[in-house]
Amino acid sequence: MSQREEVLSVLDRLADAWNSGDGDAYGACFTEDADYVTFFGLRSEGRQAIADSHRELFQGPLKGSKLTGFGEPRVRFLRDDVAVIVTGGGSSLTGGEDPAAEGRESTLTYVLVRGDAGWRITAFQNTRVSKPWEA
């Protein structure tokens, strides 16, 4: 498996955990000290906080939601053990395939690091796509 495939497989695991409603598996994709910034600016610090908040979300407002990615991810390796991925994605509250149809399309930025346990996300930023000139 190429290095590119390795880092993208982390995003696959992340989506699988979301789509299964598994907050612990979702959190396991992150480093112990990860930073996680939601589309509305809420910041969570650390794997445990990410897992805990997603466990609650998957049992509540995001129950049955589906996480999807779209577009070709841009993957850059800053070093052999640090990668940045910028890609499109979003969540559908209805479980559909098109988050944009629900106004939930985002641009997502991930910083991944490779350690003894393999690749994990150490920083994540979700920015909701909008067209302010059309407001």
pLDDT of residue 85: 98
Give the per-residue pLDDT at 135.
61
CATH 3.30.2130.10 fits 3-128, yes or no: no
Give pLDDT, residue 100.
Answer: 77
Write the CA distances from 110 to 31, 86, 135, integer angstroms: 12, 6, 28
Per-residue pLDDT at 77: 98
Nearest to 1 by CA among 128, 132, 114: 114
- Number of neighbouring beta carbons within 10 Å of residue 54: 22
Q: Are 124 and 110 in contact (CB under 8 A)?
A: yes
Question: pLDDT means per 10 residues in the chain (135 residues)?
Answer: 96 97 98 95 96 97 91 95 96 82 89 96 94 73
Inter-residue contact 49 to 57 (CB < 8 Å)? no
How is residue 135 annotated by DSSP? -
Residue 48, phi-psi category: left (phi > 0), alpha (psi -120 to 50), beta (remainder): alpha
CA dist 135 and 92 (Å) reads: 23
pLDDT number for residue 61: 94
pLDDT for the residue 34: 98
Q: What is the DSSP letter of 62?
A: T
